[in-house]
């Protein structure tokens, strides 16, 4: 079983991570770069002569490193979430293929993005945020509560447990995220740019989870321990 989970996580995670990187390059990276112009406009005054050329070359090299690091982080993110997803699949012991894997992916999207984003929406550089430690604690608690809540709603057999699942999902939103009063304030970034970033991040992340779920279901079924290898 461990081999099945590992193979599934690596295969699905790498594919989904590369897909996420491509989505970031197309949808969110241009918006981040635009926000960085507003954040440090005073430090990027145009320089005359050869200095501008040197600055352009340095910027190009910096972009190359940034895109490479983004690819690495997106692949690691894909593999990490794929381990969570395939691990949950192994615990439930349910039959799965790419179709219902897609539904599991949508559940992951709801738990790890939609629910936390209700209190902590995606932020561009230059936008006001609460303390990082406080945001991380609330994000983790919200994601964990939503995963548990969805599990109770869709996998339990009693109305009482399903009701408890609803409570778990709603509770973090009732408590509220740290700094929620300014969560949707654009700060020094134009409001239109901030709104476009939220939409672009939502689309990119949603597609990522759909790809991750579908491929996790496919590979989990494909790497059936009874069919592909003798020992799991």
What residue spans define the domains of the chain? 2-33+57-225
The whole-number pLDDT of residue 188 equals: 72
**Closest-CA residue to 209 (of 67, 68, 31, 12):** 12
Q: For 41-68, what is the mean pLDDT?
A: 58
The whole-number pLDDT of residue 229 equals: 46
Confidence of residue 171 (pLDDT cuts 50, 70, 90): very high
Q: Above 60 in pLDDT, residue 201?
A: yes
| SS3 call for 168 | helix
Residue 101 CB partners (closer than 8 Å, separation 6+): 213, 214, 215, 216, 217, 218, 220
Q: Please give the model's pTM, rounded to 2 decimal places.
A: 0.85
Lowest mean pLDDT of 111-120, 129-138, 196-205, name the range. Answer: 129-138
Residue 180 CB partners (closer than 8 Å, separation 6+): 119, 120
Q: Above 90 in pLDDT, residue 79?
A: yes
pLDDT tens digits, residue range 126-168?
A: 776 667 888 899 999 999 999 999 999 999 889 999 999 999 9
Confidence of residue 182 (pLDDT cuts 50, 70, 90): low
Count Cα neighbours of 149 within 13 Å in the Cβ-side half-sphere.
Answer: 22
Contact 206, 94 (CB under 8 A): no
Confidence of residue 228 (pLDDT cuts 50, 70, 90): very low
Confidence of residue 49 (pLDDT cuts 50, 70, 90): very low
The whole-number pLDDT of residue 53 equals: 45
The whole-number pLDDT of residue 230 equals: 47
- Nearest 5°: CA angle at 24, between 23 and 25? 90
The whole-number pLDDT of residue 216 equals: 97
| SS3 call for 184 | coil
Q: Above 60 in pLDDT, residue 45?
A: no
**Closest-CA residue to 106 (of 214, 218, 219):** 214
The whole-number pLDDT of residue 78 equals: 97
Q: Above 80 in pLDDT, residue 187?
A: no
């Amino acid at each position: 079983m461990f081999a099945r989970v590992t193979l599934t996580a690596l295969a699905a995670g790498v594919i989904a991570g590369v897909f996420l990187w491509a989505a970031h390059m197309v949808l969110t990276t241009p918006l981040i770069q635009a926000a960085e112009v507003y954040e440090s406009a005073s430090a990027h005054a145009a320089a005359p002569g050869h200095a501008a050329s040197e600055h352009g070359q340095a910027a190009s090299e910096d972009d190359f490193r940034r895109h490479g690091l983004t690819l690495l982080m997106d692949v690691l993110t894909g593999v990490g979430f794929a381990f969570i997803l395939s691990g949950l699949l192994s615990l439930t012991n349910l039959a799965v293929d790419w179709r219902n894997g897609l539904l599991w992916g949508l559940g992951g999207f709801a738990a790890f993005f939609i629910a936390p984003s209700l209190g902590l929406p995606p932020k561009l550089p230059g936008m006001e945020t609460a303390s990082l430690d406080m945001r991380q604690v609330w994000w983790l608690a919200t994601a964990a509560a939503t995963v548990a809540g969805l599990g109770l709603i869709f996998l339990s057999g009693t109305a009482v447990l399903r009701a408890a699942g609803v409570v778990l999902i709603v509770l973090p939103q009732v408590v509220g995220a740290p700094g929620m009063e300014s969560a949707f304030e654009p700060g020094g970034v134009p409001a239109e740019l901030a709104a476009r970033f939220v939409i672009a991040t939502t689309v990119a992340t949603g597609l990522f989870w759909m790809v991750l779920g579908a491929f996790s279901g496919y590979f989990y079924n494909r790497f059936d321990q009874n069919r592909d290898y003798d020992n799991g």
